[in-house]
Amino acid sequence: MVDFLDELEACVPALRRYARALTRNIDHADDLVQDCLERAISRRGLFRPSGPMRPWLFTILVNLHRNARRSEQRRGPHLDADSLPELGTPAPQHSHLALAELSRAIDGLPLEQKETLLLVTLEGMAYAEAASILDIPLGTLMSRLGRARANLRLSTGETQEPHLRSVK
Amino acid sequence: MMDVTRDTLMAYLDGQLDGDASAAVDAWLADNPDAAIELAQLQRQNEAINTLFGPVASEPVPPRLNPHRLALAQSRRRWQGAARAAMIVGVLGIGIAAGWLLRPVTDTPALYNRLIADAVSAHTVFVAENRHAVEVAGTETDHLTSWLSNRLGTGLAMPDLATAGLSFLGGRLLPAPAIPGGRAAQLMYEDSAGERVTLYITPSAGIDGPNLELVRLGSDNALYWASATITCTIVGPQSAETLQAIADSVFAQLTPAATAPAYREL
């Protein structure tokens, strides 16, 4: 029991990071994580597969987020002043402007591409693990990942011939 | 030259190739500068995503996301739910028990309570009369005795309460629809100050209730008692002690054949 909760606690930072990237809103993200943890605690031993905890938690989180999105769409979109991304200190090669642009571009991705891209790039999940969390075949995962990356390059204007830009 | 697919490049980018495969892609990229540049772009994209959201994982976690707290709150809620359910069951149980216990009182008042109420009503109506306070005057004791004994179907004697300072005015027959015989007798007495006392007498067959009960109704006290053959309710403005003393005397004379009630033996 205590082991279970400790293990859960170790996953909280990653869950918050993923939820924040999905929602771009600190309160919505933490609400999502809290829902996820409460569900995990109340279902412990009932539905938890015998495998590691992290993929199980991410599966719950992804499903909760999809449900929330669905009910939000039924209620109609709402604009939130808090939904601007919380920017960390940018690495030297990334300007704030470029990061903000990327953040908007991620937000504009179809949900299935965004879920996939973030699991792999932000959470460093193995493809097989990410595919099982999203409950899709590996091939579907790969094509979603490819489309997500191409879309991002398109909307951040990086599809021009790269060597022309590097010469300038 | 090996065949490098887009999927392989992506796996290389995401660090999902083992050492040998990764080295092979390195070698391939050296001969394919365009692919290398594109890959570098995607690499920067990955880094940018991690720059955007990576720092969230090192933020302090708000207390509401502490699993230990959440587990505690959840079990507390579960206990509260159980306690609330238990409380509802308890309250329902009390309600049902109370309903059951109060049922005789709320549904139909016990017969003896109606007799007391009727006795007080009759008292109130007839003590206010002067010329028509009684139907048969107290001077005709023998006639009253045989008449009322016949109508009530039980032997009655007219008590003499002179020792208690009460003179006998007389008596009357009253309807009593609530009880099996349907008839009651009222005897009226008066003290020297003009205060009147009535005895309301019925046969006791079919009447359940206590042997003795004192009730205060308005300005009058009513003392009810029952024996094996009759019930008698004494009504008057006198104190409970005075009525009790009168009752002792009445009982001894009213039904000479009956045994004394239990309370006299105590």
Chain segment B245-255, per-residue pLDDT in tens = 888 888 888 77
Nearest chain A Cα to B9, which residue?
Answer: A146
CATH number at residue A135: 1.10.10.10
Q: Are residues B258 and B126 in the same domain?
A: yes
Q: What is the band of A165 on the pLDDT scale with cuts at 50, 70, 90?
A: very low
List of residues 6+ apart from B30 with CB closer than 8 A? B36
Confidence bin at B266 (pLDDT 50/70/90)? very low
**Residue B173 sits in the same domain as residue B231:** yes
pLDDT for the residue numbered B147 = 93
B15 touches chain A (CB under 8 A): yes
Of B56, B57, B65, the CB nearest to A34: B65
Q: What is the pLDDT of residues A41-87, one digit of tens each?
A: 888 766 555 668 888 899 999 999 998 888 777 766 555 544 444 45
At B263 the pLDDT is 46
Residues 6+ apart with CB under 8 A from A69: A111
Q: Are B148 and B71 in the same domain? A: no
Q: Scanning every residue of chain A, which has its alpha carbon at the shortest distance from the alpha carbon of B10?
A: A146
Q: How confident is the model at residue B262 (pLDDT cuts 50, 70, 90)?
A: very low
Average pLDDT over residues A20-34: 91
Q: What pLDDT does residue B257 have?
A: 57
Contact A94 B74 (CB under 8 A): no
A130 part of contact set with chain B, CB < 8 Å: no
Residue A133 dihedral angles phi and psi, to the nearest 5°:
-65, -45
Q: What is the pLDDT of residues B51-102, one digit of tens each?
A: 989 998 888 989 999 988 888 888 888 888 888 888 888 888 888 888 877 7
- Whether residue A1 is found in the same domain as residue A67: yes
CB contact under 8 Å between A16 and B49, yes or no, is no
B6 Cα to chain A: minimum distance (Å): 8
Q: Hey, is the C-beta of A76 within 8 angstroms of any chain B C-beta?
A: no
Residue A43 counted as domain residue: yes
B88 and B67 within one domain: yes
CB-based contact, A60 to chain B, within 8 Å: no
Tell me if B1 is assigned to some domain: no
Whether residue B67 sits in one domain with residue B33: no
Domain count, chain B: 3
Phi, psi (deg, nearest 5) at residue B37: -65, -45
Q: Is the pLDDT of residue B2 over 60?
A: no
Question: Is residue B119 located within the same domain as residue B94?
Answer: no
| CA distances, A54 to each of A4, A61, A62, A72, B245 (Å) | 12, 11, 12, 27, 91
Domain containing B40 equals 6-58
B61 touches chain A (CB under 8 A): yes
Is residue B148 a contact partner of residue B162, using CB atoms and an 8 Å limit? no
- Least confident piece of the model among B15-24, B105-114, B159-168, B175-184: B105-114
Q: Which of A76, A105, A138 is the last residue of a domain?
A: A76
Question: What pLDDT score does A74 carry?
Answer: 74
Of A38, A89, A98, which has the smallest distance from its Cβ to B74's Cβ? A38
**At residue B173, does pLDDT exceed 90?**
yes
Q: Is A70 on the interface with B (CB under 8 A)?
A: no
**Total structural domains in chain A?**
2
Q: Which of A121, A123, A141, A158 to mutate to test the interface with B (most CBs of B within 10 A)?
A: A121
**B81 and chain A in contact, CB less than 8 A:** no
Contact status, residue B9 vs residue B35, Cβ threshold 8 Å: yes
**Structure confidence at residue A136 as a pLDDT band (50, 70, 90):** very high
- Whether A106 and A135 map to the same domain: the answer is yes
pLDDT band at A159 (very low <50, low <70, confident <90, very high): low
Give B-chain residues touching A152 at CB under 8 angstroms: 45
Q: Note down the domain range covering A16.
A: 1-76
Token pair, residue B244, equals: 């009790």
One domain, residues B21 and B93 = no
Model confidence at B260: pLDDT above 60: no
Q: What is the mean pLDDT of residues B126-142?
A: 89
| pLDDT score recorded for residue B109 | 65
Same domain, B101 and B123: no
Per the domain annotation, does A82 fall within a domain? Answer: no
pLDDT at position A148? 92
Q: CB B57 to CB A13 under 8 A? A: yes
